[in-house]
Structure 1
């Protein structure tokens, strides 16, 4: 649905060139919620503004819903007729709402429809339907100054949907909101994604946003995408930096020098299996659980457990193979050179501790 190839954007300031994007390749599938995450200055906002050509790339291509936008005539300040028509199929939600204070909520939603020349009765009907969709039908006659931050963002979302877009772009839409309101806006975006079949591309600097609503994600750094893919694939990859950020286990213990420490990732069907107790019974070994956590990421139950097996890696080749045969992602962290003074998290003998962890009860 959204594809960029070799996208670059270079700004010139005081005779000096600054590269905001450096060869960005992005592929967002139809119907998914895709998040781009990174620190300030990574190039996230420039990327999303290039997707709808609010910023025209220095080089590279942007294709949305089969239309190569970068091939259409026009400039950043003056778009051609074809580009304007293509943009109407792309909704945009901004961080700071951008509502007109002199217009009512309904009139703000009607504004894009007014610009396209839709008659007044049709505008009013369409705006009413959209306000009902975002849960603000009772605020149609209110003014932006009478709304909370979350309500203003819902108006912004309704306005972005006025052209019946297939794609919705969200540029840090929740960064100015409190946590509870953020959760409600993210839930709304997910509902719209499912009800309307919208493809959603959102920009954020918060891992919790990626975790709660996205199907796929990309990590940006220095104007480049350094890692990207479906969350389920990333979580199954031990080397994934994004997965480590989404689901950190750094606070858990690292084991004894004479043991083998494993990090086990389980998701979907495997999350309900008592694999640790089965492993202990099958191979007659004692296992220390150094830490575990279960979370819902992208609507899917995902768990990680760090355990310690007695003996060296070589001594545990068969038990490790058994775990992998169960469909689990197993990463060998190895033995530490020195044991930590204390262990954080749950350190428990297998038989007394693993059943509670496998049922989602985390110490």
Structure 2
């Protein structure tokens, strides 16, 4: 649904060139919620503004819903007719709401419909439907100054949906909100994604946003995407930096703790496997004493995900069969350390 290829953006300031994007390749599938996360200055906002051509890239291509936007005529200051038409299929939600204080809630939602030339009756009907959709049916005549931050953002979302877009872009839409309101806005975005079939691309600096609502994610650093994939694939990759930040392994106890000798395993389980009593089954089947060093379970991307550190007696060779049994149950099993053996402390691989 959204694809960028070798996307670059270079700004010139006082004769000095600054690269905000450095060859960004991004692919967002139709119907998913995709999050781009990174620290301030990573290039996230520039990327999302290039996707809807509020910023024209220096080079590279942007394709949305089969239309290559970078091939359409227009500039950052004046868009051509084809580019304006393409933009109407892309909704945008901003961090600071961007509502007109002199207009009522309903009039703010009607604004993009006025621009498209829809008649007054049609505008009112459409705005009323959208306000009901975002849970503000009773606030149509209120002004932005009478609303809470979360309500203002709901108005912004309703306005973004006025053109019946297939894609919704969210530029740090929850960063100015308190945690409870953030959760409600993220739940609304997920509901809209599911009920309207919207493809949602959001940028954020908050890992909890990625954890709670996204299907896929990318990590940006210094204008580049350094890691990307579905959350399921990332969590199954023990080398993934995103997975480590989504589910910090340090919370699971010290891998060096436990008995003096033994093999420490890190077990990752997702979806249906998270409800299986695999530890007790392993202990009964192989009559092995298992020392649980730490465990945690969270809901990430709508799926239950867990990680556990356990210690089995003996070295790795003594535990080949139990480890194989765990993997046959659909679990990801990584050998963290083999206490007492010559082990690489960085990789956990027995030398």
Give the TM-score of the pair, scaled to structure 1.
0.91
Aligned to 2:268: 265
Q: In the alignment, is residue 253 of structure 1 matched against residue 254 of structure 2?
A: yes
Q: Structure 1 60/323 Cα, relative in aligned 2: closer, same or farther at 3 Å?
A: same
Determine helix, strand or coil for the equivalent of 1:261.
strand
Q: Are 1:212 and 1:299, in contact at CA under 8 Å, matched by a contact in 2? A: yes
Aligned to 1:109: 109
* More displaced stretch, 150-159 vs 294-303: 294-303
Q: How many Å apart are 1:253 and its aligned residue?
A: 2.1
Across the two proteins, how many residue pairs are aligned to each other?
Answer: 338
Determine helix, strand or coil for the equivalent of 1:153.
helix
Distance 1:325 1:121 in 2: 62
RMSD over aligned CA atoms reads: 1.2
1:296-339 C-alpha deviation (Å, 9 max, x unpaired)? 1111111111111112222222211111111100111113689x
Equivalent residues in 2 for 1:139-288 (5 A)? Answer: 139-251=139-251, 252-254=253-255, 255-256=257-258, 257-288=260-291
Q: Are 2:261 and 2:340, in contact at CA under 8 Å, matched by a contact in 1? A: no
Distance 2:152 2:275 in 1: 41
Aligned to 2:300: 297
Give the TM-score of the pair, scaled to structure 2.
0.94
Aligned to 2:75: 75
Q: In the alignment, is residue 330 of structure 1 matched against residue 301 of structure 2?
A: no
Q: Are 2:271 and 2:304, in contact at CA under 8 Å, matched by a contact in 1? A: yes
Q: Are 1:264 and 1:328, in contact at CA under 8 Å, matched by a contact in 2? A: yes
Determine helix, strand or coil for the equivalent of 2:254.
coil
1:333-362 C-alpha deviation (Å, 9 max, x unpaired)? 113689xxxxxxxxxxxxxxxxxxxxxxxx
Structure 2 residues without counterparts, runs of 5 or longer? 342-351
1:75-119 C-alpha deviation (Å, 9 max, x unpaired)? 000000000000000000000000000010000000011111111
Q: Are 1:313 and 1:334, in contact at CA under 8 Å, matched by a contact in 2? A: no
Determine helix, strand or coil for the equivalent of 2:176.
coil
Distance 2:82 2:219 in 1: 32
Aligned to 2:347: none
* More displaced stretch, 132-141 vs 315-324: 315-324
* More displaced stretch, 312-321 vs 178-187: 312-321
Determine helix, strand or coil for the equivalent of 1:253.
coil
